[in-house]
Chains A and B, each alone.
Chain A
Amino acid sequence: MKKAFVFIFLVVTFFSCNDGDIIITSFEFDDVDLQLCNGALENESVFFKINPSNNEAISFDFISSQYNATTVLEEPIIIDLSEGTSSLIYRQFNTSITNDYYCSSIPSSEIVVIEELKAISGIAEIRVIIATEDDEDNIPAEEEDINGNGNLDDDDTDGDGIPNYKDQDDDDDNVLTSVELENGIAGNDDPRDTDGDGTPDYLDTDDDGDGVPTINEDIDGDGSPRNDNTDASEDDDTFNYLDPDTTERNDNVSPDPENTEVLTTFRTIIDISNIIFDGNNENFENDNFSFGFRDVNSRRNLDKTPN
């Protein structure tokens, strides 16, 4: 009798491993990165998040000729999920998946979808904004807030229309900020101030304080004062613009219209609201889902618009 009981118990245990329906009550994708791949159709994009710890993923597939990861959108793109060409799909898999699960030309032969939720309606909002922008001049953007008011956009030392944090040449003297910083003193990170007038060279239009503006110490007029040393000798390898002994000047020079490249971080933000999933998913708690954002870095040139 006892043996039979044990046997039945074992059989029951064996068959009860299959835990039936999985009830999903919320999504847990906050800690994973938003990814993007290009679909096979024209202008088709697939945003997805994969949570490897639960073998689950959520994807948002849409077609829009307006969307480009590096083009700022004045108005968000609105996609109605109840209309044919887009989809919002949550899936659980039998195994972990990688990014090439999506947008690949042939599906994996080993991955099996064990649970799927498809949105039958919902509104997706896609925004592309500029998250950060920097001139990569080796001064952190927040330290280019000269007047210290917390607004980076109203600090434009040279008045060329490009605020300092985006301006590769903050004082428009044709010597880039990045090469006007090093003061040659070990263990001292202060920006160089050649003439000691309290204005660091990168903000000083007359670096050596000899009365001739740095830009005009470009004697050969090639656009760079960094190859002009008229009193060069064995003991003097100092360019004119840093050498108070040289006061020759060239008035036929103007600020370089280039030097306007910035590193821009474009951010795509995707939010989906009023989601209704197919099937009986009354347990689902949120009718909104934020995909979060995805950043893309790109260098571009700004326009100088002098005040």
Chain B
Amino acid sequence: MNRPFGLFAIIILFMSCSEGDIIETDINFTATPEDCFNGNDFVIYKIDTDTNRSISLNFTSSSFEVNQVPAENASETITLNGTSNVLIYRQFDSAINGEEYFCASIPPSGIIVTEELISENGTATISYTPISGNTFTRTIVVSNVTFKGPGIEIREEVFEFGSYEITTP
């Protein structure tokens, strides 16, 4: 009688070790954003190379252009909708190369996403500040975002995505 009970206990122990971790995900990190596109699908992303994480703003637009500034430096707003427009946080098992990972016609193999949080709502505002000549700073701020993942929800009223320089042709 004792032995089956022991085996049973071991099995329970063995099965039960994977769940119930306390997740502490910090989605904020500083890195210079980059961009890419395929047709009308755009991605502005930043990568934390130390911790193999990325945050990307994926959106579809017929007016946005990576190296253009709207007339009178007007801001552009993108409403996150969970389908074509999303903000995605990812943790990878290994280092990624942004240029090979985003907007790749053939996705890279061998990279595994170990954690993913997606915001399906919120509003991204892309604004422009002239620096000199045809160089501008593009700043992306996303408001009212809720990053959701398995068993986790992070709400940020104002999420500072970051700024980078663009040069118009």
A binds B: yes
Taking Cβ atoms with an 8 Å cutoff, the residues of A that contact B are 37-41, 44, 46, 59, 61, 87, 89, 91, 101-113, 116
* Contact status B42-A105, CB under 8 Å: yes
Q: List 6 A-B contacts (CB under 8 A).
A: A40-B36, A40-B104, A44-B105, A105-B43, A105-B102, A107-B101
The one of A39, A59, A109 in contact with B90, judged by C-beta atoms closer than 8 angstroms, is A109
Chain B contacts with A in 19-46, Cβ cutoff 8 A? 36-39, 41-43
* Contact status A113-B109, CB under 8 Å: yes
A3: min CB distance to chain B, Å: 8
The one of A89, A105, A111 in contact with B103, judged by C-beta atoms closer than 8 angstroms, is A105
From B115, which residue of chain A is reached at the shortest CB distance?
A: A109
The one of B38, B42, B56 in contact with A103, judged by C-beta atoms closer than 8 angstroms, is B38
A136: min CB distance to chain B, Å: 31
B44: min CB distance to chain A, Å: 11
* Contact status A116-B102, CB under 8 Å: no
The one of A61, A108, A112 in contact with B105, judged by C-beta atoms closer than 8 angstroms, is A61
From A115, which residue of chain B is reached at the shortest CB distance?
A: B109
With A41-B105, A107-B108 known, 5 other A-B pairs at CB within 8 A are A40-B36, A40-B105, A61-B106, A103-B38, A116-B109
* Contact status B106-A87, CB under 8 Å: yes
Residues of chain A within 8 A of B43, CB atoms compared: 105-106
Residues of chain B within 8 A of A107, CB atoms compared: 101, 104, 107-108, 111
Number of interface residues of B (CB under 8 A): 25
Listed residue (A46, A87, A103, A112) with the most chain B CB atoms within 10 angstroms of its CB: A103
B151 at the interface (CB under 8 A from A): no
Q: Given A112-B112, A113-B110: A105 and B37 within 8 A (CB)?
A: yes
Residues of chain A within 8 A of B116, CB atoms compared: 109
Residues of chain A within 8 A of B108, CB atoms compared: 107
Docked CA distance A42–B125 (Å): 28
B55: min CB distance to chain A, Å: 11
* Contact status B36-A109, CB under 8 Å: no
Residues of chain A within 8 A of B78, CB atoms compared: none
Interface string of B112-139 (1 = CB under 8 A from A): 1100100000000000000000000000
* Contact status A108-B106, CB under 8 Å: no
Docked CA distance A91–B109 (Å): 9
* Contact status A40-B113, CB under 8 Å: no
Docked CA distance A106–B107 (Å): 8
Docked CA distance A107–B107 (Å): 6
* Contact status B112-A46, CB under 8 Å: no
Residues of chain B within 8 A of A59, CB atoms compared: 106
From B60, which residue of chain A is reached at the shortest CB distance?
A: A105
* Contact status A40-B56, CB under 8 Å: no
A21: min CB distance to chain B, Å: 16
A84: min CB distance to chain B, Å: 14
Residues of chain B within 8 A of A116, CB atoms compared: 109
Residues of chain A within 8 A of B109, CB atoms compared: 91, 113, 116
A48: min CB distance to chain B, Å: 9
A268: min CB distance to chain B, Å: 17
* Contact status A38-B58, CB under 8 Å: no
* Contact status B38-A106, CB under 8 Å: no
* Contact status A46-B38, CB under 8 Å: no
Q: Nearest 9 A-B pairs (CB), nearest first?
A: A39-B105, A113-B109, A107-B107, A109-B113, A40-B38, A105-B41, A40-B103, A109-B116, A105-B43
Docked CA distance A89–B42 (Å): 25
From A93, which residue of chain B is reached at the shortest CB distance?
A: B109
Residues of chain A within 8 A of B113, CB atoms compared: 109-110
